[in-house]
Structure formats: structure tokens, C-alpha cells
Amino acid sequence: MIDWIIDLLFWIVFGTILFFLRGKRIFWTVGALGLLLLFNQFFTPGFFHIQLLDGHLYGSRIDVLNQGAKVMLLSLGMVFVIATGGVDLSVGAVMAIAAAVSSRLLVTEHQPAGVAIAVALVVSILAGAWNGMLVAGFEIQPIVATLVLMVAGRGVAQLITEGQIINFLDPTMVYLGNGHLFALPFTLTLVLLMLLLAFFLVRRTALGLFIESVGDNDEASRYSGINARQVKFLVYAFSGLCAGLAGLVACSNIKSADANNIGLYLELDAILAVVVGGTSLQGGRFYLIGAVVGGLFIQTLTTTLYARNVSSDISPVPKALVIIAVCLFQSESFRARLSRFVRPPGRILKPLGSRPSQNLSTVTPHDSRES
Amino acid sequence: MATPLLEIIGLTKGFPGVKALDAVDFALQRGEIHALMGENGAGKSTLIKVLTGVFPRDAGDTRLEGHVIAPRSPREAESLGISTVYQEVNLIPHLSVAENICLGRQPTWFGVIRWGAIARRARAALARLDLSLDVSRQLSSYSIAIQQLVAIARALDISAKLLILDEPTSSLDRTEVEELFKKLRKLRDGGLGIIFITHFLDQVYEISDSITVLRNGCRVGCFATRDLPRINLVSHMIGKAVQQVEALGQKRASTASIRSDAPLLEARGLGRKGSLQPLDLDVRPGEVVGLAGLLGSGRTETARLLFGVDRPDQGTLRIGHQAVRFNSPRAAIRCGIALTPEDRKVAGIIPNLTVRENIVLALQASRGNWRRLPVAEQEKLTDRFIHALDIKTPNREQVIRNLSGGNQQKVLLARWLATKPRLFVLDEPTRGIDVGAKAEVEKLIQSLRQEGLGVLFISSELEEVVRQSQRVVVLRDRRKVDELTEGEISEEAIMHSIATHNLERPAA
């Protein structure tokens, strides 16, 4: 009975949010997440079950939030990189490096957790700065520049752990990925803090404007006096920081640092999350909240497939199909083309998105004669 | 008269917030060159884009040789026989001439490209323009003028009935324009219908048979060129009475506003290997210095050196008595220099950002990353400039890409005025913008001068340089060949300096 009421409340809140987002770019991302949850509401028994145990909330939705924290953190860094017209392929490897550094300091070097975490984060920022130097300083193409660390990073992590899988039990480190704060997983607090930091950078400094400007027209930005190199350098360093945090969460989750597997292929999930969130890979306008919701969407999809007993070998296939569908629906020209089939021809269609589009179709008289 | 080649009846097209075309009629005969005139934002480009299927129409009919057509893409328009050559050469510089001409319709044999056929076809297409080139050479190895002709050859290759030329001459010099016109006349005499869009009134009168004038998305009228006096054309375009237009042209700059003899900018032997021979250049506060010369004579190179885009490798530069060495535009901006670049699209606008964001950009950049201009102040600033420069935009949050060229240029001017510069370098500020906006830009330059700014004014239109400047520096082949002072300045004098060979005055 209580479950029913909670579910009802959940959907009322969700529906209200969706209502207020209509016409915004992020509508399609949140809407896709809603559809996925709706599917689970009806077809995945127990998915919506939620309970309070020892003052902690448990349930599939909470799991999604907890598990999704890594991708959400990564996409927070990735969205800025992509907005400058670049991409960061190395975030998975940087996660492994952060995990390796922290656990080595903790276990082998017997350092306190605070030091281990701080050093790991500094190393992650340096790794990001390395990418930034290659891209901004030496003007190497972002894909190639970050591919270097993507491939070499795991080797570096192996060197740090000396090829071992390091296990740890330090309570602070374990709390990062498993602890609870205010009945919710602590990882959510981390995501929220990073989101606030990102919001501060975008809204209270000029970096948001500069990032979009550099991504949209690099040359004109330079003519306007923007330090385009510095901007690019900073976004890669920030992406490194986000990846480092995600790496700490990942190794805390399993209480060990496995340089080979931590963060494997997560860079792809992060890129997808940003794209699903509405940001174009061409750079320019970016959607911060969209990227986080995109991360949540990807995790919900993964968890749904697990819950439906789809084996992990073939789960990428349905995942790919759903993501293609979401991306298509974000495209105004696709929606316009689709509505030609749905609506009677000869009528002028109103734009659905908030931005005016040039290829939004009006159906020409020529069409109506044909049909 | 027989059915016109092209007939447009009641064409209407709206964008969010604007009615770009309002029931426009247009007719073009076979063997006619028809100029389409109007200020920026009058609807010329929209008309062309609807006609060629880039934009869908809201209402109206188009007939080609009496048949109703409604192309949904430029490709479909091409297959109907309507070809377009745009202002910027829309070809691929790294490919060969032949590949560029046949791109997208390569003759193939079971999916394999027939290179021999491509070369033959390209040569045939060029022959129609009496042009013989090595079609296997890279397009970029030819001059812009030749590239423009290649673009026309490409357009004609598809058995075109109708050729649309959108500002084809804006990057050509005088002899190249002559050459192009000779070829256009030949095509016209062969029965081709040509729609010609330009801002150069001289050229309209030189080449066109009739003129259709648009204003604010409406058709003002269609006239035979020989029956329409020039002053009436301008008056139709800007919608003002003839007397007002005549008053525009008569203002003449005077040296009265020059405040001191101490130069604001003092370049001595400033040069860069391979781009500019060492030159001396002074700009005093309250003075407009014109920089004249043909395309490629080193005008833009001078601007780039002064603005820190390129680094000089010899000579000295002083800004207000202080020796400076710029290694980036940022350093130049810090010294109070502003530059509106020649190529608005590449180095000027940030296309997908709003008018507000585009205006505050340079000011914000000079304040750095952390001291963000509060939104309320950004909005106040933007509204002030929209009002002061009469920028035509539905609101300040409009994406700049949707503005017409002249209004984009005004936004760029606003961007720099917001930084309160001491020296304004204007590289072709009036290129591709209409008569009305041109007059406003000229007025703005004079008011800047009166406020004591130094202005370096670069333009290919000698008439403008003469009207604006108190001093004119003439460049040829990347070196300074002459400097004309008040009293000596006239179009003839400048042309004389440009044309005369080996006449180098001893450096004063």
C-alpha cells in the first residue's frame, strides 16, 4: 500500500518536472528516462520497491543512483571537453590510475586515507593537464591526444600497483563508495557537490561563455581576446579531476584496486551520456544537467537489462538500439520528418524545440498534390 | 512576350519572429540578366534559398518554363536546371579543378570513377567560359577569381537554364570583374537566364537588363535598368526620398578633429617575411587613416600584424609612446586596440551564440575568467548597443546566425565598442552589407573620430576610403607605395598610386 502511494507521488513529481521542461532541449533526455522507468514500473517486478533499513534507503532506483554516480561524474567533466569541440577518451584509464595511486598509498605505504585521496585527485588532475597540454599546447587532435593516455594509462596504473590487485579495508575509503548520508548513498552527495562546482564555474565565472565560444568558433574567439588555449587546458584538467573521483568511487565499491578493469569502457558511456543529454559532438552549446540525466539514463538502461536477465554479452545490442532512438528523437529534423507520416499533409508544423530551426519543415503544396 | 523562364507568384516565407518574404512576385526572361537588389535583411537571400529548396516555403508558386516546381533541396533544384553560385566559393580547395566540377555527379562505370571522363567533362565545362586550365591541379593553386569561374563552370555543367549568382564579385578586382562580366554576357546571349545579386551599384548598371528591388521582405518594384536613375534605385532600396539620399553622399571628413600630433600608433619598419615589407604607419587620435590597395596588396596582413595575430619579425611598434610587442590579440586588446576582421564568418561571429553573448564577449575576455559581468549589466549593455547601432533583431537572445550580414557586422562593432578601444582597425567593415547599413557604419566611424579614437580604415571601395580618411596609405604587392595627405586624396590619386609601377617616394 505504502509502495503504491510512494510510486504515485514519484510519478506526479516526475510528470510535473517533465511538464515544466517542455520546449527545452533537456525534455527529450528526461522524457526518455521517464519512458524507461515506466517500462520498469509495469514489466520489472520489484524494480520500484523501496525500503528503509537501518536508516538507509534500499531499492533498485537507489542502486541506479549509486551505480550511476561514476558515469554521472565522468559526464560532468566530459560535457565541457565536448563543448570545446574535443573528446576525452582517457577517463577510464585515469579512473584506474586514481584507484591505483590511492590504494597503493593506503596499503603499501601506510598513509592515512585523507592523504591517499588527496594525492590520487592531484595525480588525476595532472593526467587531465597532460591531455590539455597535448591538445591546447601542441595542437594535437583531441581523439589522438587522449588516446595516448587511454592506452598507456592502464600500464601506468599497473606499474603503480606492481601488477597486484590491492585490497583495502580502510573505513574512510570504503565509505566513499558504500557509505550513506541522509539515508542516501554518499556517492550521490559527491555527484551533487561536483554538479554544484560545475554550476558555479558556468554561472558565476565567464568560463561557460568562453567554453561555448571556443567550441563554436575557435578562431573568432581568439580574435575576441579569449585565451582559447587556457580554456581548453582547463576543461581537460577538470575532466581529469572528475575521472579521479569516479575512480575512487569505483575502487571503493569493490574495496580493491584492479588496474585492468576499473573504469573499463566507461569513457564510452560518458560520451554517450553527454550526447544523450543534448550536447553536440561538434562543440558549442552544452547542457550540463542534460549530461547528468544522460548518465542516469545510461545506468538505468544497464540496470534494466540486468534486471530483465539479458546476459551481459548481448546487452550492448538493445542498449545501442535504445540510444539510437533517443538521439534520433532529439533531432528536430527527424521529428519533423516523422510527423509528416503521423499528421495529415499540407499543414504547417509548429517547431517543437525552443530554438528556431532552419530545416523545420513546412509541407509544400507540391507534397500535398502527390499524396 | 512568351512565357517567362522563371515566374514567382506570391512567395511567402516566415521565420520565428520575422516575415522574411511577403507575397513576393518575380519574373525572369530567357537571355536576361536580372539584378536582385535590396538592403541586408530585405529578403534577397531568403528568396534565393526558397527558390533553390534550401528553405521550404509557406505559400506561393514558382513556375519554371510554365511548369510549377517546388524543389525540396538544392540538389533537386539543380536537376531542374537552377544552379547557384554563392558569395563564398563553395568548393573544396584540396581537390582538383576537375573533381570540383564533377563532384557529386561523377561519371562512373559500375561504381568505378572514370577519371578520363571527368577531366574531359571539366574541360568542356570550362570551355563554355573560354577558360582553359590544367584541370588536374589543385583548386587552391588558382586565384580566387579563377575559383569563382570554376564554381560557375560547375553550376553550368548541369545543363542549367537559370544561373543564380549571389555576390560573385565581392572578392574580385576590377579586371577580374570585367572578365567575369564578358563571360556572363556571352552566356546571356546564349539564352541563359541569370539572377545577379550584388551590393555594387556600378556593376548593376554595367551588366543587368532589369532590376527587382526588395525591401523588408516585400517587392518594391521591377524596373528596366536603363529607365531607373541610380539615385532612385538607392531611394527604393532604403525607402527614403531622393533628397535624403543625396545628402548622404556629400559629407566629407575634415582634419578638424585631430587632437594632437603625437601619434597613437607609430609603426617603424614593421614587417614580416613573406607577408609584409617593412612599412611606417602613424595613426593620431581623432584621425581616420585609410589603407587602400588591391586585394592581396597587404592590407589584411598589416591589420594582422598590428593586432598581434601574426608576429612581426622586424621593426618597432609604439602605442602611445610605449614600445610594444604583441604575441596574441589579447596583448593588443590590452593596449586598447580593436579589430573587426575581414572575414566575418571565420574570425568574427560566434554563430550559435546569442546577440548578447556575442556583444559581451570581448569585454568579458578582457576581464578574464573569474570577474564575470553580471547578467543584468550584460543585458543593459546589449540593449544600449542594439538601440544605438539600430541592430535589427527580434530580441537580444536571438542566435546571431539568424541575423543578416549587416546586422552581424553591427554586433561585431558593438562587441569592440563595449571594450572602449583607443584604436579601431576596421578591415572591410562594409563588405557585403547594404547601402543603409553602410551609411550607418560610416556615420559611426566619424563619431568615433570625433570622440578622439584613432581609426585605421581598410576598404576595397576607393570611394569610401576617400570619403572617410584624412590620410590614405596606399599598398601594392605587400609594400607601402604612397601616402596621401589631406587635399591630395581622391579616387584618381589613389588609383594612380596603385597603378604606377616602380614609383616609390623616398620615405618621408
Q: How high is the pLDDT of residue A247? A: 93
Does B365 contact A225 at a Cβ distance shorter than 8 Å?
Answer: yes
Nearest to B156 by CA among B122, B133, B185: B122
User: Residue A42: pLDDT band by 50, 70, 90 thresholds?
Assistant: confident
Q: How high is the pLDDT of residue A74? A: 94
Q: Residue B114 has which C-alpha cell? A: 572514370
Q: Decide: A33 and A300 in contact? Cβ < 8 Å.
A: yes
**Chain B contact present for A221, CB below 8 A:** yes
Give yes or no for residue B397 having a pLDDT over 80: yes
pLDDT digits (tens, 9 = 90+) for B443-486: 888 888 888 888 999 987 777 888 888 888 988 778 888 888 87
| Chain B 383-412, residues with CB within 8 Å of chain A CB atoms | 399, 402
Give the strand pairing for B59-64 and A166-167: unpaired
Lowest mean pLDDT among A52-66, B17-31, B58-72: A52-66
User: Residue B499: pLDDT band by 50, 70, 90 thresholds?
Assistant: low
Phi, psi angle pair for B340, to nearest 5°: -100, 120
User: Residue B501: pLDDT band by 50, 70, 90 thresholds?
Assistant: very low
Q: pTM of the full predicted structure?
A: 0.72
Does A363 contact B57 at a Cβ distance shorter than 8 Å?
Answer: no
**Chain B contact present for A365, CB below 8 A:** yes
Does A223 contact B309 at a Cβ distance shorter than 8 Å?
Answer: yes
**Chain A contact present for B364, CB below 8 A:** yes
pLDDT digits (tens, 9 = 90+) for A65-119: 888 899 999 999 999 999 998 899 999 999 999 999 998 888 888 888 888 899 9
Q: How far, in Å, CA of A87 to CA of B161, rounded?
A: 47
Give yes or no for residue A246 having a pLDDT over 90: yes
Give yes or no for residue B239 having a pLDDT over 90: no
Does B361 contact A209 at a Cβ distance shorter than 8 Å?
Answer: yes
Q: How high is the pLDDT of residue B242? A: 62
Give yes or no for residue B93 having a pLDDT over 50: yes
Give yes or no for residue A40 having a pLDDT over 70: yes
Interface ipTM: 0.76
B42 torsion bin: left (phi>0), alpha (psi -120 to 50), beta (else): alpha
| Chain B 102-121, residues with CB within 8 Å of chain A CB atoms | none
> If you average pLDDT over residues B238-244, what whole number do you get?
65
Chain B hits for A226, CB-CB cut-off 8 Å, are 330, 361, 365
> If you average pLDDT over residues B429-441, what whole number do you get?
79
Q: How high is the pLDDT of residue A358? A: 40
Q: Which helix (H) or strand (E) holds B277?
A: strand B276-283
pLDDT digits (tens, 9 = 90+) for B125-150: 888 777 778 888 888 788 777 888 88
Q: Which residues contact A265 (CB under 8 A, 6 or more apart)?
A: A92
Count of CB atoms within 10 A of residue A171's CB?
8
> If you average pLDDT over residues B8-20, what whole number do you get?
82
